Every structure is written in structure tokens, then in C-alpha cells.
Amino acid sequence: MINPAVLVDGSSLTIEDICQIAQQTKTLRLGETAVFKDRINKGAEFLTTLLREEGFIYGVTTGYGDSCTVPIPIEHVADLSRHLYTFHGCGLGAHFDLAQTRAIMAVRINSLAQGFSGVRYQLLRQISLLLEHDILPLIPQEGSVGASGDLTPLSYLAAVLAGEREVCYQGQTQATISVFNNLNIAPLTLNPKEGLAIMNGTAAMTALACLAHQRAAYLAQLNTRITSLVSVALQGNAGHFDERLFSVKPHAGQIKVAGRIREDLSVAALPTRNDTRLQDRYSLRCAPHIIGVLEDALPWFRQFIENELNSANDNPIIDAENGRVLHGGHFYGGHIAFAMDSMKTAVANLADLMDRQLAQLVDPKFNHGLPANLSGAKAEQAMLNHGFKAVQIAVSAWTAEALKLTMPASVFSRSTECHNQDKVSMGTIAARDCLRVLELTEQVAAATLIAVVQAVELRCGNQALSPNLTLTLSQVREHVPFLEHDRALEQALRLCIGLIRDQHWSLYE
């Protein structure tokens, strides 16, 4: 079956479009109408006219950055793009994974498709051809300060379009030119401005932001479901989620979270309590207020990310319609940096919330009669088994690491490139930090989910729960058996983390 396609023709794409291309649930289809092709080629033709007239164009007849005062003789202009992607081939660190690389390529082609970058339609076709065959540049993650855009990471895309460097193809690292030769793909010689147009933009950070948004939205829902289960396991006060209560502090996301918890707790009452508590600890009572911050922030994160996704963000901007070359700073990734710095803080708070919830569940001083460490061992074996003791320690470690990474990257601007790039966004570092915080929080969620399912079973036995909670218990038990005797849980945790990352479990409409 052929996957449905996302059309790239200068119209707006969504976060979901980029994620679906990245995850190969949809393909990318480049627009092929004469109108679209003419609009793209018009910018390249305008630059050709300017060159014939010996126009002065940054990055075409000049050097780059601080070298913009260095004139490039017309006979060397054709070599400038190759030099640009060549000297930027200094990235280090791990490579972006396959989904991240597809997302970067999809974001870049969409920006170029806006028609203000002075590139040929043929260049867009070359990028779409790589995606069509799943020929993915090996792009190191480290080396971008987020202005002038993602120069070093995107140099690897530019070099691959020209048949250079290495790609991942059919699961193997191969020389680009070998793959091209086998598939009869001709390397593209980049025209003046085309190397700059590919590299001088925010595609890497924006692609990572799209993937981060999708993961953060799912984690908000999963943490809500976990909170409902914790409330059952700890015999919590369902009144903390009362509709009238939340109507007097009307943050929309917070109200949504409380409503979801009410739905989860909809059957009869929570297990009978044997004390006089009116108020649960904050990690239960205030869960909608904590998760609600992320829920309320997701729409404006989307606005920042999708505006960047659908923008022309290189320099200079080529306004062929009005015959102008506009020099500016659209490569600056400040909006993505701010969104990612903000998102990672909201997500880390989810990790901290689940860490506190798990700490209550395992501690007999606070769990209202559950076995210590949620051990499922029978009485004669109880002294030997330690249940989730080590898991709770590990969750604290993952949470601490997530919280440590919440220092905003954007405030660490460094003056670079002979003080030409004297204030930079650090957007790509912020996005990478955010993905790491998401990864750690997914680990916390997997551990807390497995533990709270055990806690609910220990508390409730065969007592009826709402359809939502019953479904989650059964879905977890499909993969992770009840923990009666101590066993290593690493593989179960890794399995659940993968299911969370794949958004395998349906949660709320």
C-alpha cells in the first residue's frame, strides 16, 4: 500500500505533516504545477540577471559572514557554494537519527518552497528524490549556534545533494556517490546562492521542535492517565478534580486535565479510605495545575514552530517579483530557542511530578497500606523481595538529570565568527536539550506506569474501574507481568519506553 502524501508547494504545513514524513507514515510529494515551478525558478533567474549586470549580492559575489566585504571575481562565483559546504564540514557528536534527518530535510525543502531563496526547482527536486529513496545524509548533531541558522548541520545536506560525504541507505553507511551511481541519480552542482540557501536557515532546530511537540503532547496525556491511576492506588480524594472547583480558575489546559481525570475516575467511588484526610499531597491535588501548564503552552508552542516551519528563513531574501535582494537576519532561531527552552521546563516538571507520585506509592509511611516498594511477594517471601525499590531510585536519577537540563540554552549566546555573529540564538542546542528532557521523562513515565498498575492491582483486586483505567491496565499487562518475585525490569522498561515513544496506547480523544 502506498502511503498518503504531504504536498510541498509553498502552502502551509503542520507539525503533524513533518512528523508523518519523519516516521514514514506519509511521503513527501513536491508540487509539479507549472505555476509553482515558475515561481521557484523566477528567483534563480533574477539572480542570474543580476550577475550578468555585475550586481553586488551577499554570499554570491562576496564572501560569507564577516568576509562579506571580500569581493568574489565573477569567474569564481560558481565555486563559492562548494567552498561553503566544504569548510562547514566540521560537525561532531552523534548523528541525528533517521526520523530526525527526514524531518530536517522536509523542513528545509518546505522553507525553500516559499519561493524567496533564489534556488532552482531542480534543487527542491533533488531533496525530494533523496526522501523518496530514503537516502539520508549523516548529519552530526553538534556544531550549530542557531545563527546564521544551522550552518554546519545543513552543510551535510548540501554536500550530499552534490554527491559528497556519506549517507545512510538501506540500513548501511555508504558513500553518497556510490548510492547515486547505483540509482542513476546525478549529483547536483549548486548554483550561486544555493549553498547558502540550503544552509543559512533554521531547519534542524525546527525539525527537532516538530518532533518534540508531538512527544510532549503525548506525555501530557500519559501523565494525566498515570495521575488517575495514582489517585486510585492511594485512595485519593476525587473532589480535588471537581468541575466547579476548576471553573473558578479557568486555565483551559488545566480544566482539560481535571476533566480527563474525572472521566478516568467515573465509576462509583475510589477505594474506601480509613482515615480522615481532606486533602491529598500536592503531587495528586495539584496534578492538573502542573500538567495543565504544558497543555496550555502547547498551542503557542505550535504557533511559534509552525510559523518558523512555513517561513523563508535564509539570507538574503530574494524578492524576484519586485526585483530586490533583501538583506536581513531571518536565519535567527530565537522563536524556536524560546519555545524549546520553555517546553523542556514544562516537560521536566512532569518528570518531577511522576517522581513524587512514585515516591508516595512505594513508601509505606505514605501509601496508605500498600506493601513496601509495591512488592507482590507472598508473606513467606516478603523479606527477600524488594519490588520497585531500585526503580524508584532510578526514576529519581532520571528526574534529576531532566531538571538539570532546564537551564535555558538561549541565554548562553556566544559571539562568533569575528564578532559578526555576535548575538546568536542557540536554538539547536535548546531543541537537542528538549529532546533529551523528553527522553528522560519518557523513562520516568514508563517506570511510573508499570509501578502504578501494580499498585492499583494490589489495592483494588477485582474491583470495577472505569473503562479508561481498565483499558490501560490490560494494555500494560499485555507486555509486563505482575511483579511477584524480584526480577530485572530493564527489558520491560525499554519495551514500555518504545511503546510510549511510538504513542502505541490510545489515551484521550
**Interval 174-210: pLDDT, tens:** 999 999 999 999 999 998 889 999 999 999 999 999 9
The verdict on residue 330 lying in a domain is no
Arithmetic mean of pLDDT over the chain: 92
Final residue of a domain: which of 173, 201, 229?
201
Residue 471 reports pLDDT greater than 70 = yes
User: Is 333 inside a domain boundary?
Assistant: no
Cite the active site residues: 58
C-alpha cell at 310: 512555513
Report which residue type is found at 397. Answer: A
Are residues 91 and 239 located together in one domain of the fold? no
Look at residue 79 in the predicted model and tell me its pLDDT. 79
Does 270 score more than 70 pLDDT? no
Average of per-residue pLDDT across 376-390: 83
CATH code for the domain of 185: 1.10.275.10
DSSP string, 180-240: HHHHTPPPPPPPTTHHHHHHSS-HHHHHHHHHHHHHHHHHHHHHHHHHHHHHHHTT--GGG
Dihedral angle, C-alpha 145, 149, 155, 158, nearest 10 °? 170
Q: What is the mean pLDDT of residues 264-270?
A: 71
Taking the model in full, what pTM does it have?
0.95
Residue 339 lies in a domain: no
Do 223 and 188 fall within a single domain?
no
Instruction: Give yes or no: residues 196 and 214 share one domain.
Output: no
For residue 467, the enclosing domain spans: 208-271+280-312+348-501
In a domain, 329, yes or no: no
**What CATH number corresponds to the domain at position 430?**
1.20.200.10
Condensed to tens digits (0 to 9), the pLDDT of residues 75-104 reads 666 677 888 899 999 999 999 999 999 999
> Do 104 and 36 belong to one domain?
yes
Over the stretch 406-429, which tens digit does the pLDDT of each residue have? 999 999 888 887 777 777 888 999
Q: What is the pLDDT of residue 77?
A: 63
Same-domain check for residues 145 and 240: no
| 161 and 242 inside one domain | no
Task: Mark whether 64 and 196 lie in a shared domain.
Answer: yes
Same domain, 427 and 288: yes
Last residue of a domain, one of 150, 175, 201: 201
| pLDDT for the residue 65 | 56
Shared-domain flag, residues 102 and 182: yes
188 and 52 in a common domain = yes
Give helix then strand counts, H and E, for the chain: 18, 9
Pairing of strands 5-8, 27-30: parallel
